[in-house]
Structure 1
Amino acid sequence: MTTTVKFECQTRPEGSKPKALRRQGFIPAALYGHKGAESVSLMAKEKNVEMLLKNASVNNTLVNVAIPDISWNGKALIREVQTHPWRPDIYHVSLFAVAGQESVEVVVPIHLNGEAQGVEAGGVLEQVITELSIECPPEQIPEVINVDVTDIPLGGSLHIGELKLPEGVTPTEDPEQTVLTIVETRAEKVAEETEEEEDIEGGVVEELGDVSV
């Protein structure tokens, strides 16, 4: 996946209070993984954070992070965004540096492509999960997982273990987890039940007609 999102921030003054920073138009943040287990406390302009979250998703989008006052630039993932329980206020952003990481765990949306055979036969496609947790090298994070549903029949289903994933991408969830299924509509079930009842009744009438007096 091409990295296009940029995010500039600066180190947070020692002893600074989060509420005071937010009143000044800054959002507290933290970067992990840039030096092993060491982390660095950061702050960023509120408008920069809003732009970041508008263009990047948690655990999905690689971000070019720049921290000029410590001369650090590198790629990172947004790991967590803390917000107010009911207002859209942003409280804190956590970033995880991926430089030097052989693989990272991310969450990627699932996109369905094509018209399933089962849908053409009158069924309804029910998508059970809309995103997938995967592990892959940082430079190979896919934007989406594309799933071709064309050959799935009525009554059929697709599981995580059956997905065709890009090279280097491994799912971290249960391979038996259902991704989607194609079920009959209520009208189809009623029609089938009615047809079965008519067949049974027709058989009974035919048997009665063969009885000799």
Structure 2
Amino acid sequence: MEFEINAVGREKSGSNYARKFRREGFIPGVVYGHGERSRPILVPVKDLNRLLRHLKHDVVLVKLNVDSTWKRRCILKSVQVDPLTDQPSHVDFQILKKEPITIKVPVVLKGEAVGVKSGGILDHHLRELTIKVLPDRIPEHIEVDISQLGLGEALHIEDLPDRGFEYLDPPDAPVVSIIIPKKLEVVEVAPVAEEVVEEKEPKEEKEEKEETKS
């Protein structure tokens, strides 16, 4: 997925100017990378909010146009948020070139695990994976098939198929697992039948009964 954002170059900086920019509907930011000088910019709030909504689910490439003359393909590298308003206060864009970059990509689970059908609980450990990948091969998300995952089983980074990029998280890190609930761990024990022991008569009493019969 690729978004186009028409930004404006800026020369002034500082908290007073930043507040003024936000009142006018812009968020201050900077675009940098690969030997090019950092370029201060202003990004329309509506465009940034639209971009952030999609970033919750997928990686989004950005076609950034500055003053309609300077154009670059980028990714949104970071967003600073105002702790009082919980709104974006500054954004950083990284320019993409034909060399690998490090990026976090969302994980999307596919299918229903057999372990869940058997009463297990799905535990999604990693919702994003860090990968090293060429810009033209950046996936929107990483799909993980969990349909064959049974009770007490887990899928780790090292279990994922090769998709043409490098996983940077620890190979033994679990991505998803199926927890066995305690109620399934309890094994019912069948009641043990009581053994009936026949009480033997004392030898003397037994002999007396036999004499009486005779």
2:34 paired with 1:38: no
- CA apart distance, 1:94: 0.5
Aligned counterpart in structure 2 of residue 145 of structure 1, from 142, 145, 166: 142
The C-alpha deviation readout for 1:50-103, integer Å capped at 9, x for no partner, is 33333446993110001136x221110101111211424321110000124x11
Q: Distance in 1 between matches of 2:13 and 2:150?
A: 62
Q: What corresponds to 1:8 in structure 2?
A: 6
In 1, Cα distance between equivalents of 2:62 and 2:18 = 23
Give the secondary structure class of the aligned counterpart of 2:48. Answer: helix
1:157-195 Cα deviation digits (max 9, x unpaired): 1111111242x22111111111111122232123x2xx1
Verify the 8 A CA contact 1:59 1:105 in the aligned structure 2.
Answer: no
Unpaired runs of at least 5, structure 1: none
Identical counterparts, % of pairs: 29
Distance 1:15 1:128 in 2: 41
* Matched-pair contact (CA < 8 Å) for 1:6–1:52: no
Distance 1:26 1:67 in 2: 13
**Gap change, CA 1:153 and 1:53, over 3 Å in 2:** closer
RMSD: 2.5
Q: Does 2:85 correspond to 1:94? A: no
- Structure-1 separation of matches of 2:198 and 2:148: 49
What is the aligned partner in structure 2 of residue 189 from structure 1? 185
Is 1:114 paired with 2:98?
no
Q: How far apart, CA to CA, are the structure 2 residues paired with 1:155 and 1:212?
A: 51
1:209 Cα offset (Å): 4.5
How many pairs align?
Answer: 198
TM-score normalized with structure 1 length: 0.81
Structure 1 SS opposite 2:21: helix
2:170 alignment partner, SS class: coil
SS at match of 1:65: strand
**SS state of the match for residue 9, structure 1?**
strand
Which structure 2 residues correspond to residues 54-133 of structure 1 after superposition, within 5 A?
Answer: 54-56=53-55, 60-68=59-67, 71-100=69-98, 102-133=99-130
User: Is residue 135–residue 169 contact of structure 1 (8 Å, CA) maintained in 2?
Assistant: yes
Q: Which 4+ stretches in 1 moved above 3 angstroms?
A: 54-59, 208-213
Higher gyration radius (CA)? 2
